[in-house]
Structure 1
Amino acid sequence: MGRFSKMHGLGNDFVVIDARTGPVAMTEARVRAIADRHAGIGCDQLIMIGDAPDADVSMQIFNADGSEVEACGNATRCVPLFVGRDVTIRTKAGLLDARLIDGGASVDMGAPRFEWDAIPLAYAMDTLTMPASWEDLPAPAAVNVGNPHIIFFVEDLDAVPVERLGPLIEQDPLFPQRVNVNFAQMVGDRHVRLIVWERGAGLTRACGTGACATAVAGIRRKLTSGPVTVTLPGGDLVIDWTPGGTIQMTGSATHVFDGEADWTRF
C-alpha cells in the first residue's frame, strides 16, 4: 500500500505521492486510471515527490491524460505544505524555491523565456505579438515559464468559445510540444481575468504557470505592471515580475485528505 495526499491550489487538484520512502512505478495508463474521477481517485495532475541530489525534493508532474510535463505552479505551492517546511524543488523546468506563507505558499518560478525555439514554436517569429491567430482572436504572445504558453488578451472573456478554440490551438502544428492556451481580459490597472485551456488537462479551476505567463506577457506589452492580481475561476493569484528577473507567484494551497492505495490495482 502506498500513501498519498489529495491537495489543491485554487481548485486545481492533485494526487500527491511520496516516493522518497520507496519507488513508485508510473505509466501513462496508471496515471490515467488514478486520475479518473469515477473509477480512480480523481485529479487534474498526479505529483510524485522524490529525493534530489541538488535540492530538498524532486517533483514529477503528470497530467490527467498520462503525459509528463515540466511545470505546474499550483502543484509547486502545495509541495512545501506537503513536506511541512520551506523547500527547494528540482523539476524538469529547473530548480524552484517555495516557502510557506499563511494559507499557502510563495514560489520563485524562475525567469521566463521568449525565444521562439524556447517556447517552442515550429519556426521563427516574434513572440511578443505573434503574426498568427485563430478566427477572431487578436494576435497572441508566447512565453515559456518552464512549460509553453500562448496568451490572448481579449475585450470580452465571456464571449470566447474556450472549449472549442482551446483544443484546436493546443494541438496546432505551430506548437511541436503542444501548448497551454490562456484567454485573458484586463479588468483593472493591475488586475486580469484569466481562463486557461491546459495542455493535456483541458479546463481546470486554475493554472499557476498560466497566471505567471499571462502576467509576464501583460507587463511586456505594457498593459500592466507588477504585482498583478490574476483572477481565475478558482480564485486569485498574485504574480510579480520585473524584466530581467524571476517570477514570484503567491497564492493558496490546501491539503484535503490523506489516503492509502495499492498502485498495482490501477
Structure 2
Amino acid sequence: MMSRFSKMHGLGNDFVVIDARQAPVAMTEARARAIADRHAGIGCDQLIVIGDAEAGDQADVSMLIFNSDGSEVEACGNATRCVPLFVGKDVLIRTRAGLLDAKGVDGGASVDMGAPRFDWDAIPLGYPMDTLTMSASWEDLPAPAAVNVGNPHVIFFVEDLDAVDFERLGPLIEHDPLFPARVNVNFAQVVGPQHLRLIVWERGAGLTRACGTGACATAVAAIRRKLMAGPVTVSLPGGDLEIDWAPGGTIRMTGPATHVFDGEADWDRF
C-alpha cells in the first residue's frame, strides 16, 4: 500500500517523515535501514513515523524514531521541530521519551523538550558516579558530563574543537561498556559568554550536521558547570540552535525546520 512521506531537515540533519495516521506502517530495523540507505533507498539520518495518539492520550500525534542503522531511539530534537510543519499546526507529541510540546515559529519551531535527568542510572551508566564531572575519560579528553534529555549524552568541553579526532573517538566512546544503552558523544568548545560550538557523534548515525538533543544536553551541562547562563546559542555545522534552561525547569529548544519535498512509497518494497 502506498503511503505519504516528506523529506525534511533541521539544520541539515535530514529525515524521511512517514505519515502512518491513515495507513499504518509496520517498521522493522531492516526496513528502517533500507529506507535510510542513501544509495538504494530514499536516504536520511533518521526515519520518523507519525501516527495517531492512542485513545485517551492527551497527545495530538505519536512519533517513532529510527536511526540510519535501523535502531529505534527515544528522542530527536531536530525531528521534533519538523513535526508541527509536517502536521500543519502546533502539536503535543507522544514519544518514547514522553510528551513534547512543539509550536511553530517563523522558519522553524520551538519545543519544550522536558526536564533533563542527571542520576547515573537514568543516563544510564554501567555503575554509579557523579555525572557533572565524571570519574572517567578517554585518552587526553577532559572529564566529561552526562545528561539524559530523553536519550543518553556524554559531553566533553575541549579547548580546541578542531583538534579532536571525532571519527576515531566517537565510536570508541559510543560503544564503551560504561554506556549499556550506548551514548551520543558531544564535543563542545566555549566561544563566548553564552555561545558554544558543538560537534556530535550520534548514536547509531555517526557524525551529523546537527543534533537537537545534543545541543540541549550540552547547553544544560554548560549551565550546570557554571560556564554560562541561558539562553545559550549552540553552533553546529548545520547552523545555530537556541537552548534555554534553568535548574529545576524544562528545556526550551528553538531553531529551523525545513520541508524539502513530498512523495509516496510502498514500504513493503523495502
Shorter-normalised TM-score: what interval? Answer: over 0.9
SS of equivalent residue, structure 2 residue 79: helix
CA distance in 1, matches of 2:23, 2:33: 21
SS of equivalent residue, structure 1 residue 117: helix
The residue that corresponds to 1:13 in the other structure is 14
Scaled by the length of structure 2, what TM-score is found?
A: 0.98
In the alignment, which of 75, 79, 82 is matched to residue 83 of structure 2? Answer: 79
Q: In percent, how many aligned pairs have the same letter? A: 86
The residue that corresponds to 1:139 in the other structure is 143
What is the CA distance between 1:262 and its match in structure 2?
1.2
The residue that corresponds to 1:22 in the other structure is 23
The residue that corresponds to 1:252 in the other structure is 256
SS of equivalent residue, structure 2 residue 179: coil
Task: Provide structure 1 residue ranges, at least 5 long, that are not aligned to the other structure.
Answer: none
CA distance in 2, matches of 1:119, 1:98: 24
**Maintained 8 Å contact 2:3/2:23:** no
Name the amino acid aligned to 2:151: N
Task: Provide structure 2 residue ranges, at least 5 long, that are not aligned to the other structure.
Answer: none
What is the CA distance between 1:3 and its match in structure 2?
1.1
The residue that corresponds to 2:41 in the other structure is 40
2:184 corresponds to 1:180: yes
Name the amino acid aligned to 1:145: V
2:70 corresponds to 1:69: no
- List structure 1 segments (4+ residues) > 6 angstroms apart after TM superposition: none
Name the amino acid aligned to 2:221: A
The residue that corresponds to 2:64 in the other structure is 60
Aligned positions of 1:106-117 closer than 5 A: 106-117=110-121
CA distance in 2, matches of 1:234, 1:4: 23
CA distance in 2, matches of 1:90, 1:2: 21
SS of equivalent residue, structure 1 residue 260: strand
CA distance in 2, matches of 1:30, 1:57: 22
2:218 corresponds to 1:214: yes
SS of equivalent residue, structure 1 residue 211: helix
CA distance in 2, matches of 1:88, 1:263: 27
Aligned positions of 1:102-181 closer than 5 A: 102-181=106-185
2:226 corresponds to 1:225: no
CA distance in 2, matches of 1:102, 1:28: 35
User: How many residue pairs end up in the alignment?
Assistant: 266
CA distance in 1, matches of 2:85, 2:4: 16
Cα distance per residue 1:201-240 (max 9 Å; x no partner): 0011100000000000000000011000000000000000
CA distance in 2, matches of 1:186, 1:234: 18
Cα distance per residue 1:151-186 (max 9 Å; x no partner): 000000000000000000000000000000000000
In the alignment, which of 97, 100, 109 is matched to residue 93 of structure 1? Answer: 97
Name the amino acid aligned to 1:163: E
What is the CA distance between 1:23 and its match in structure 2?
1.0
Name the amino acid aligned to 1:225: A
